[in-house]
Structure 1
Amino acid sequence: MEKLNLLNDYEIKPLTIEKIKIIEELCEKCSDYYILHDGIVPSKEDTKEIFEAIPPNKNYKDKFVLGIFKDNKQLVGIIDIVKDFPVIGQWMLGLMLIDPKERGNGLGKMAHEALIQWATNLGAKSFRIGVIEDNYKGIKFWSDLGYRKIKEVTMEFTKKTNIVNVMTLEFKN
């Protein structure tokens, strides 16, 4: 992937571990998510995990860590996505984190639409996500985009146990 241009001088492009400092800064700005999800503020390990965590039977060529940039320089979002997981054609959107100052302006929806177009061109038929039950705003956001809950699972996180709503979105042909 080279980059995906969004409206209003936003773009999505690959992130590398060399950008760890600006990624750590964005994760700190998004502490509300980490406290809700993990029960604690993000650590350097949480930031590294964005690059290192992969599902079983997948490898790093299947994983994309992408940044949403404003004016080509300011990191305002992070996306972690794994292709063909858990099945071929379904891609797991593991994380979509947006700077609180950038939330509520349509950026998440624009980024999501660009991701669908990009992933579809690479063979994706659907996205799968997990949203913790306590993340009411997240559940509303994803539901408004057309995601439907297919099951619930209980998962252990850093300092919390959460019920996770597994949701999917089938792409329209």
Structure 2
Amino acid sequence: MTCRVSDLTSNDLDALTGLIMDDGGYSMRVFGRPPKSDAARDVLHTRPPGLDLESKTTIGLWDDNRLIGVADAVRGYPRPEVMYVGLLQVETDSQGGGVGRMLHEALVDRAMNDPGITTLQLSIVATNAEAAEGF
């Protein structure tokens, strides 16, 4: 597998929508419903109140032209020195193959190269803990 990481933009909306719809049951475990059709747009643009769009980082992991993983984070939340990971999702068929680790390493690299960030933080939703435990 030859993978590359890139920033995701609105141009990647279709690929991101496809990935999010193939969520391996994440949305049911966390929200109690299937993923919403506009979830990809939310991943690209939603951020905590008071943070500008530049605080948002959304990266994708591509295998050739197929998006196989996504991670998003916001800088400056909940404190100025924190980068908070909001989502790390890998397509069902690629889980267990190190894709999540590659995305995590890319986020760590982003955090380490941001002079204002000293902490990378994430939370695991209790109803998703068993699925996320391996990561």
Bigger relative contact order (CA 8 A; separation at least 6):
2
1:84 and 2:92 are equivalent in the alignment: no
Matched, 1:51 2:44: yes
Q: Distance in 1 between matches of 2:11 and 2:101?
A: 27
CA RMSD in angstroms, aligned pairs only: 1.5
State the match for 2:124 in structure 1.
131
How far apart, CA to CA, are the structure 2 residues paired with 1:27 and 1:57? 26
Partner of 1:145: none
Q: How many pairs were matched up?
A: 133
Whichever residue aligns with residue 68 of structure 1, its letter is: L
**Do the aligned residues in 2 keep the contact of 1:31 with 1:42 (CA within 8 Å)?**
no
Aligned to 1:112, what secondary structure does the other structure show?
Answer: helix
Aligned residue number for residue 101 of structure 1: 93
Unmatched 5+ residue regions in structure 2?
A: none
Q: Cα offset for 1:66?
A: 1.2
Please give the alpha-carbon distance, in whole angstroms, between the structure 2 residues aligned to 1:54 and 1:90: 14
Q: Post-superposition shift, 1:29?
A: 1.1
Give the drift of 1:47: 1.9
TM-score, scaled relative to structure 1: 0.71
Paired letter, 2:78: P
Shift of 1:138: 1.0
Aligned to 1:75: 67
Residues 1:10 and 2:15 are matched in the alignment:
no
User: Given that residues 23 and 75 in structure 1 are in contact (C-alpha distance below 8 angstroms), is that contact kept between their aligned partners in structure 2?
Assistant: yes
Preserved contact between residue 76 and residue 82 of structure 2 (Cα < 8 Å): yes
Aligned to 1:170: none
The one-character-per-residue Cα deviations of 1:29-75 (angstroms, maximum 9, x if unpaired) are: 1151111111111122222211221112211011011111112x110
Q: Which has the larger radius of gyration?
A: 1
Of Structure 1 and Structure 2, the greater strand share is in 1
Partner Cα distance (1:115, 1:35) in 2: 26
Moved over 2 A (4+): none
The aligned counterpart of 1:41 is 34
CA distance in 2 between counterparts of 1:140 and 1:70 reads 22
- 8 Å contact 1:64–1:80 — kept in the other structure? yes
Q: 1:90, 1:126 within 8 Å by CA — same for their partners in 2?
A: yes
In the TM superposition, residue 100 of structure 1 has moved relative to its aligned partner by 0.9
